[in-house]
């Protein structure tokens, strides 16, 4: 069967070059006579992989020297707890709720202290990002938590909130590596890898040095950032295969021309789809124009019946996993880095045919 265009929210498409290299090296990685999934995480070949992946991430994202890069497990969902466990020192933090995952992070934060909702977009079904001037920020908060890109609702911050010195924590699971970002503006960035970085199983945390080492004494060893910082993510067995693929993806990203080039291509892809949505009579974009995501584009039709028909017929054309998240319905096209421009062109062409045939 030929490769399809997979618009899944995650796990998502990986670059074909990366998948082909994985296949070539599956039985023998760099002359070791074994697969990466078999070798010890204490071995020199794997140390070269994990330390190489860290170096590449630092280079590609221009991460300052006073930040730690940690390779963890548990997904972004575990970070909802690890962030307050490690950073909520005075027992108070601010959260901006712009979707389901931002709400889950705030709910988890409430288990460890006062999690103040500084702003919310729930009043308009999370179709927008609150503006800076609407944020009710506590200058004594231990951090402000945001979800930088909202996978389910298709919105994104197009500004970095000013916090007055309070550390800014961002869940970047669905937008990391999609564009350059000034890491120095954040105290901590975390991301589940299964969208732009690697297969599921790996979580990346980028945390400023001064925020490490202040967890309460009752925080479990495996939930303490210092545990991983002290051991360069090798305290226990890490997700070896995902880290290996992450390194390959970072090498691929460099070959594309780095994040500036990746951003230009992502903007081109998003513009192709949004331009059609804005002139379509059948398909209606969900997110407000000023808050639109490049990665996750959400839209609806006039009803479930036509939406279901669209998704089924699209799948027959090799355009798969377009159904929206179960909590909001509709249609969602996820245009992560590995989605080629040709895939978006094929989607738009199909939407044009479908609309003409079903109007």
Q: What are 180-232's pLDDT values in tens digits?
A: 999 999 999 999 999 999 999 999 999 999 999 999 889 999 999 999 999 99
* Amino acid 327: pLDDT: 80
Distance CA 176, CA 204 (A): 10
45 exposure class (CB count in 10 Å sphere: 0-12, 13-18, 19+)? middle
Q: Nearest 5°: CA angle at 189, between 293 and 214?
A: 155
Give the pLDDT score at 75. Answer: 97
- CA 221, 223, 229 angle in degrees (round to 5)? 80
Task: Decide if 129 contacts 180 (C-beta within 8 A).
Answer: no
- So what's the pLDDT on residue 359? 85
The pLDDT of residue 326: 84
Residue-wise pLDDT tens for the chain (359 aa)?
789 999 999 999 999 999 999 999 999 999 999 999 999 999 999 999 999 999 999 999 999 999 999 999 999 999 999 999 999 999 999 999 999 999 999 999 999 999 999 999 999 999 999 999 999 999 999 999 999 999 999 999 999 999 999 999 999 999 999 999 999 999 999 999 999 999 999 999 999 999 999 998 899 999 999 999 999 999 999 999 999 999 999 999 999 999 999 999 999 999 999 999 999 999 999 999 999 999 999 999 999 999 999 999 999 999 999 999 988 889 999 999 999 999 999 999 999 999 999 98
Could you please report the per-residue DSSP string of 209-225? Answer: GGGSS---TTS-GGG-H
pLDDT of residue 171: 98
Spatial distance between the Cα atoms of 200 and 242, rounded to a whole number of angstroms: 7
All domains of the chain, ordered by start, with CATH?
Answer: 16-255 (3.40.640.10), 258-358 (3.90.1150.10)
The CA–CA distances, whole Å, from 299 to 160, 289, 358 equal 26, 12, 17
Q: What is the pTM of this model?
A: 0.97
pLDDT at 1: 72
The reported pLDDT for the residue numbered 353 is: 98
Which pLDDT score is estimated for 287?
Answer: 97
* pLDDT, position 116: 97
- The mean of the pLDDT values for the chain is 97
CA distance 15 to 187: 30
């Amino acid at each position: 069967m030929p490769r399809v265009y997979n618009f899944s929210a995650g796990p998502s498409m990986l670059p074909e070059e990366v998948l082909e290299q994985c296949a070539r090296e599956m039985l023998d990685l760099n002359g070791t006579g074994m697969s990466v999934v078999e070798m010890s995480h204490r071995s020199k070949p794997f140390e070269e992989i994990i330390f190489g992946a860290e170096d590449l991430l630092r280079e590609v994202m221009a991460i300052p020297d006073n930040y730690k890069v940690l390779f963890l497990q548990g997904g972004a969902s575990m970070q909802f707890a690890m962030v307050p466990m490690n950073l909520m020192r005075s027992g108070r933090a601010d959260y901006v709720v712009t979707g389901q995952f931002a709400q889950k992070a705030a709910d988890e934060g409430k288990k460890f202290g006062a999690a103040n909702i500084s702003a919310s977009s729930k009043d308009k079904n999370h179709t927008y990002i609150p503006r800076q001037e609407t944020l009710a920020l506590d200058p004594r908060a231990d951090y402000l938590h945001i979800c930088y890109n909202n996978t389910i609702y298709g919105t994104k911050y197009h500004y970095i909130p000013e916090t007055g010195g309070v550390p800014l924590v961002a869940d970047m699971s669905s937008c990391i590596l999609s564009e350059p970002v000034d890491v120095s503006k954040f105290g901590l960035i975390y991301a589940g890898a299964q969208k732009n970085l690697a297969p599921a199983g790996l979580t990346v945390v980028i945390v400023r040095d001064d925020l490490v080492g202040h967890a309460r004494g009752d925080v479990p060893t495996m939930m303490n950032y210092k545990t991983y910082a002290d051991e360069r993510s090798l305290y226990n067995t890490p997700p070896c295969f995902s880290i290996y693929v992450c390194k390959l993806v970072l090498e691929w990203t460099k070959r594309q021309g780095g994040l500036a080039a990746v951003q230009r291509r992502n903007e081109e892809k998003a513009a192709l789809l949004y331009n059609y949505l804005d002139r379509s009579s059948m398909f209606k974009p969900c997110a407000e124009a000023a808050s639109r995501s490049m990665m996750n584009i959400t839209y609806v039709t006039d009803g479930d019946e036509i939406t279901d028909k669209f998704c089924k017929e699209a799948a027959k054309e090799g355009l798969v996993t377009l159904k929206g998240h179960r909590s909001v319905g509709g249609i969602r096209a996820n245009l992560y880095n590995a989605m080629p421009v040709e895939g978006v062109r094929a989607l738009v062409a199909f939407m044009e045919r479908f609309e003409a045939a079903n109007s």
